[in-house]
């Protein structure tokens, strides 16, 4: 406990802790969108987009987060354009974009002489490496996410339920879809610096799965509104617990947060009334 | 002691309808045609006094007025002028219920009132259908008119389809699989834009309608891993920021008899339960046009009858414009609505 108190007097640790709490509460909201809209392939593609963004950032000595965010946004807009009027959704386009992203990243690393290991370090993030600007961007994104979801909850439910039904209600489905995939792209870009590309799911998807298990196994109700709330609470607890454990036991925070997410999911899966 | 019988006393100047509960005057109107009776119907929605022993004095009582008065529970009617059609209608009801439950007195009788409404209702016997027509004529329906002109789709078999449905009308579109029934609904919901032909709902292109005018109930609905709850589905069509959402949802669920499904996830419901919830969604939305795609597909006989009952009840109470596509001939028989067959071989 003393080590925790001591650590919390160090600026990078405080910044990291703040970022983890914000991300823990906000990112699962995007995870609900990913799972409800069946965007798992797109999420994988965005993780590869992060590698491409990282390569560009290193090659051109540009700040990492804005570049990866821009690359991810470009990729989702490309996907939206490619999947227009197609019933196959984002799957095939995501697969193609994933391969092309990695190919481009490889070319950039080769041609610019960037150390490949530096780029691959992006696979393992660190909340201690965050700057104040990163935390400000994270806070703005989190507030936007919460406000957007709160103000448009019923609209989002209609889009989740059935897009043709939503369109018949006069909802601009394409607009909300674009907003949601853009938010996911930005969240993945930011999560990469926090947890690394490989462990993004610890805050994006696992809290949602944990919340769903909790609601189902412990008979705590149904519905997507509840899923949003419980996922956010689960994400907050996971990131807080994971970060504290990392500081106390001197572990990599991304690994301990991911482990906390996994353990909580397993606990809720086995416990309960059913 | 002489009992005062206000319902038999002459109407004051300008007054066309007076209604009494016992000897207490509870409602009076100077409106024309059937409007006083529709005003009375609105009044009765909030009237919390006794509904027994209701009597009325009307200037003229034809079959139409008799239909509405009986629905409102009026058991004694005095008319300055009554038609024999109205008298026959009430006599038939009395015979059905075994006694003189409803009394009609008139200062003067004529074979029938000289008006289009009386003519239209003359051959009819179904009280619900007559009532629906009366509300349509009075433009007191939730629905809006739907016009389809020369609609042709390059794929499927929709060719030069035209029909017009008045506000509050009900239509069954029948045809085998692959004849373009669902495509027609996708045009009506604005999900598809016609290349040939026109669609007008309330005089507008479906894509230019006021949001939430249409309630579409497709065949394939929520099937995702993390489903919406029943309450969320029913509340989908309610505008964000509306007050009393919970009450609206509950009322709609009561209307279709699905309050017991509260707290369940939508995907856990049976086919029949899903239809109840989906129609409750249309009620909560206060939709002006209902578009239902095969509402009885894969339902057993009991669930089919339940869906038919709810749709019939909607067509008489809220009276939206309803278009149901189906190839279920039993449903067509049960609803008895006008049917339009599409996709027949030329």
pLDDT of residue B18: 94
pLDDT of residue B241: 79
Grouping H, G, I as helix, E, B as strand and the rest as coil, residue B315 is helix
What is the pTM (predicted TM-score) of this model? 0.84
d(C-alpha B91, C-alpha B160), whole Å: 48
- Kindly identify which residue of chain B lies nearest to residue A160, measuring between CA atoms: B222
Q: Is the minimum CB–CB distance between A99 and chain B shorter than 8 Å?
A: no
pLDDT of residue A127: 78
Q: Is the minimum CB–CB distance between B218 and chain A shorter than 8 Å?
A: yes
pLDDT digits (tens, 9 = 90+) for A1-24: 677 777 777 888 888 888 889 999
A-chain residues within 8 Å CB-CB of B211?
169-171
Question: Quick count: other Cβ atoms within 10 Å of Cβ B233?
Answer: 29
Q: Is the minimum CB–CB distance between A271 and chain B shorter than 8 Å?
A: no
Residue A190: which of A125, A100, A258 has the closest Cα? Answer: A125
Enumerate domains of chain B plus CATH numbers.
6-137 (3.40.140.30), 146-225+284-341 (3.40.50.300)
Per-residue pLDDT tens listing for chain B (346 residues): 444 577 888 888 899 999 999 888 999 999 988 999 999 998 998 888 888 889 999 999 999 999 999 999 999 999 999 999 999 999 999 988 877 789 999 999 999 899 899 999 999 988 888 998 999 888 888 999 999 999 988 776 788 899 999 999 999 999 888 888 899 999 999 998 888 899 999 999 999 999 999 999 998 766 667 889 999 999 998 987 788 899 999 999 998 989 999 989 999 898 889 999 999 999 999 999 999 999 998 788 888 999 999 999 888 888 999 999 998 999 999 998 999 998 764 3
d(C-alpha B226, C-alpha B238), whole Å: 21
Kindly state whether residue A46 falls inside one of the protein's structural domains.
yes
Q: Is the minimum CB–CB distance between A155 and chain B shorter than 8 Å?
A: yes
Rounded to an integer, the average pLDDT of A210-239 is 90
Under 8 Å CB-to-CB from A83, ≥6 apart: which residues? A89, A90, A93
Contact A162 B235 (CB under 8 A): no
Grouping H, G, I as helix, E, B as strand and the rest as coil, residue A169 is coil
Contact B224 A32 (CB under 8 A): no
User: In sequence order, what DSSP letters do the residues of A11-46 get, joined into one string?
Assistant: HHHHHHHHHHHHHHHHHHHHHHHHHHTT-HHHHHHH
- Kindly identify which residue of chain B lies nearest to residue A211, measuring between CA atoms: B226
pLDDT of residue A173: 92
Q: Of B229, B240, B291, which has the smallest distance from its Cβ to A154's Cβ?
A: B240
Rounded to an integer, the average pLDDT of A251-269 is 87
Kindly state whether residue A258 falls inside one of the protein's structural domains.
yes
Contact B222 A158 (CB under 8 A): no
d(C-alpha B58, C-alpha B18), whole Å: 7
Q: Is the minimum CB–CB distance between B182 and chain A shorter than 8 Å?
A: no
Nearest-CA distance A165 → chain B (Å): 6
For B326-338, b/e burial (b = at least 16 CB within 10 A) is bbbeebbebbebe
pLDDT of residue A8: 75
- The residues with which A163 forms a beta bridge, in sequence order, are none
Kindly state whether residue A50 falls inside one of the protein's structural domains.
yes
Q: Is the minimum CB–CB distance between A147 and chain B shorter than 8 Å?
A: no
Q: Of A167, A212, A223, which has the smallest distance from its Cβ to B190's Cβ?
A: A167
User: In this predicted complex, what is the ipTM?
Assistant: 0.85
Q: Of A154, A208, A221, which has the smallest distance from its Cβ to B236's Cβ?
A: A154
Nearest-CA distance A157 → chain B (Å): 7
pLDDT digits (tens, 9 = 90+) for A172-203: 999 999 999 999 999 888 887 777 766 778 88
Q: Across A170-254, where does the E strand assignment appear?
A: none
d(C-alpha B41, C-alpha B31), whole Å: 13
Q: Is the minimum CB–CB distance between B210 and chain A shorter than 8 Å?
A: yes
Kindly state whether residue A274 falls inside one of the protein's structural domains.
no
Under 8 Å CB-to-CB from A258, ≥6 apart: which residues? A195, A199, A201, A202, A206, A242
d(C-alpha A59, C-alpha A35), whole Å: 34
Say how many domains are in chain A: 1
Domain range for A133 is: 2-266
Q: Of A32, A162, A169, which has the smallest distance from its Cβ to B237's Cβ?
A: A169
B-chain residues within 8 Å CB-CB of A147?
none
B-chain residues within 8 Å CB-CB of A226?
229
Burial-class residue B171 by CB neighbours within 10 Å (0-12, 13-18, 19+). middle
d(C-alpha B290, C-alpha B142), whole Å: 11
Q: Is the minimum CB–CB distance between A153 and chain B shorter than 8 Å?
A: yes
- The residues with which B57 forms a beta bridge, in sequence order, are B18, B78
Q: Of A155, A167, A224, which has the smallest distance from its Cβ to B226's Cβ?
A: A224
Under 8 Å CB-to-CB from B290, ≥6 apart: which residues? B214, B215, B217, B279, B282, B314, B320, B321, B322, B323, B324
B-chain residues within 8 Å CB-CB of A214?
none
State the CATH number of the domain containing residue A160.
Answer: 1.10.3470.10
Q: Of A155, A162, A169, which has the smallest distance from its Cβ to B218's Cβ?
A: A162
Residue A225: which of B265, B218, B252 has the closest Cα? Answer: B265
Q: Is the minimum CB–CB distance between B215 and chain A shorter than 8 Å?
A: yes
- Kindly identify which residue of chain B lies nearest to residue A149, measuring between CA atoms: B240
Kindly state whether residue A272 falls inside one of the protein's structural domains.
no
Structure tokens given for B35: 């409007």
Structure tokens given for A217: 């196994």
Rounded to an integer, the average pLDDT of A234-254 is 89
Contact A164 B191 (CB under 8 A): yes
Length of chain B: 346
Kindly state whether residue A95 falls inside one of the protein's structural domains.
yes
Kindly state whether residue A219 falls inside one of the protein's structural domains.
yes
Q: Is the minimum CB–CB distance between B223 and chain A shorter than 8 Å?
A: no
Under 8 Å CB-to-CB from A263, ≥6 apart: which residues? none
3-state helix vs strand vs coil in chain B, percent to 5: 35, 25, 40
Kindly state whether residue A271 falls inside one of the protein's structural domains.
no
- Asked whether residue A243 carries a pLDDT value surpassing 80, the answer given is yes
Q: Of A161, A167, A170, which has the smallest distance from its Cβ to B233's Cβ?
A: A161
Contact A224 B228 (CB under 8 A): yes
Pairing of strands B17-21, B103-110: unpaired
For A198-237, b/e burial (b = at least 16 CB within 10 A) is ebbbbbbbbbbbbbbbbbbeeeeebbbbbbbbbbbbbbbb
- Kindly identify which residue of chain A lies nearest to residue B226, measuring between CA atoms: A36
pLDDT of residue A230: 95
Q: What sign does the dihedral B61-B67-B72-B73 (CA atoms) show?
A: positive
Where does the pLDDT of residue A271 fall: very low under 50, low under 70, confident under 90, or very high at 90 and above?
Answer: low
């Amino acid at each position: 406990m003393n080590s925790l108190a001591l650590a919390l007097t160090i600026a990078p640790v405080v910044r990291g802790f703040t970022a983890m709490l914000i991300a823990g509460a906000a990112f699962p909201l995007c995870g609900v969108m990913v799972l409800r809209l069946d965007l798992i392939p797109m999420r994988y593609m965005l993780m590869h987009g992060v590698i491409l963004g990282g390569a560009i950032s290193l090659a051109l000595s540009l700040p990492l987060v804005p570049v990866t965010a821009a690359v991810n946004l470009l990729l989702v807009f490309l996907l939206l354009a490619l999947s227009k009027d197609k019933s196959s959704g984002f799957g095939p386009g995501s697969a193609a974009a994933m391969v092309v992203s990695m190919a481009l990243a490889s070319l950039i690393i080769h041609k610019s002489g960037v150390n490949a290991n530096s780029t691959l370090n992006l696979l393992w993030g660190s909340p201690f490496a965050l700057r104040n600007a990163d935390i400000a961007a994270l806070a703005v994104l989190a507030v936007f996410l919460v406000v957007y979801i709160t103000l448009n909850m019923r609209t989002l439910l209609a889009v989740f339920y059935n897009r043709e039904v939503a369109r018949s209600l006069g909802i601009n489905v394409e607009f909300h879809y674009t907003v949601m995939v853009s938010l996911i792209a930005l969240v993945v870009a930011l999560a990469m610096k926090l947890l690394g590309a490989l462990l993004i799911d610890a805050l994006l998807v696992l809290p949602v799965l944990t919340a769903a298990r909790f609601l189902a196994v412990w008979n705590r109700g149904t519905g997507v509104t509840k899923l949003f709330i419980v996922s956010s609470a689960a994400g907050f607890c996971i990131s807080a617990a994971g970060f504290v454990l990392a500081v106390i036991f001197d572990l990599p925070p991304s690994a301990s947060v991911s482990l906390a997410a996994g353990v909580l999911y397993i606990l809720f899966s086995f416990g309960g009334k059913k | 002691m002489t009992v005062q019988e206000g319902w038999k006393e002459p109407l004051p100047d300008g007054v066309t309808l007076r209604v009494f509960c016992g000897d207490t005057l509870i409602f009076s109107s100077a409106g024309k045609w059937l409007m006083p009776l529709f005003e009375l119907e609105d009044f009765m929605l909030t009237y919390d006094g006794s509904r027994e022993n209701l009597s009325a004095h009307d200037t003229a009582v034809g079959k139409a007025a008799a239909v509405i008065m009986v629905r409102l529970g009026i058991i004694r009617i005095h008319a300055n002028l009554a038609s024999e059609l109205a008298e026959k209608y009430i006599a038939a009801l009395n015979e059905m219920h075994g006694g003189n439950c409803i009394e009609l007195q008139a200062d003067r009788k004529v074979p029938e009132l000289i008006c289009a409404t009386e003519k239209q209702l003359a051959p009819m016997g179904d009280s619900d259908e007559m009532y629906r027509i009366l509300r349509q004529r009075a433009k007191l329906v939730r629905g809006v008119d739907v016009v389809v002109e020369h609609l042709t789709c390059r794929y499927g078999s929709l060719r030069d389809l035209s029909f017009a449905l008045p506000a509050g009308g009900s239509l069954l579109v029948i045809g085998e699989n692959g004849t373009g029934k669902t495509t027609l609904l996708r045009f009506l919901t604005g999900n598809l834009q016609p290349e040939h032909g026109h669609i007008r709902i309330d005089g507008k292109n479906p894509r230019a309608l006021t949001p939430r005018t249409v309630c579409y109930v497709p065949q394939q609905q929520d099937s995702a891993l993390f489903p919406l709850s029943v309450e969320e589905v029913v509340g989908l069509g309610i505008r964000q920021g509306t007050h009393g959402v919970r009450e609206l949802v509950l009322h709609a669920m009561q209307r279709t008899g699905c309050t017991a499904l509260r707290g369940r996830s939508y995907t856990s419901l049976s086919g029949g339960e899903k239809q109840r919830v989906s129609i409750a969604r249309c009620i909560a939305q206060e939709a002006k046009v209902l578009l239902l795609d095969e509402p009885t597909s894969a339902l057993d006989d009991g669930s089919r009858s339940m869906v038919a009952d709810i749709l019939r009840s909607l067509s008489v109470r809220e009276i939206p414009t309803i278009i149901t596509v189906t190839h279920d001939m039993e449903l067509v028989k049960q609803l008895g609505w006008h049917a339009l067959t599409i996709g027949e071989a030329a």
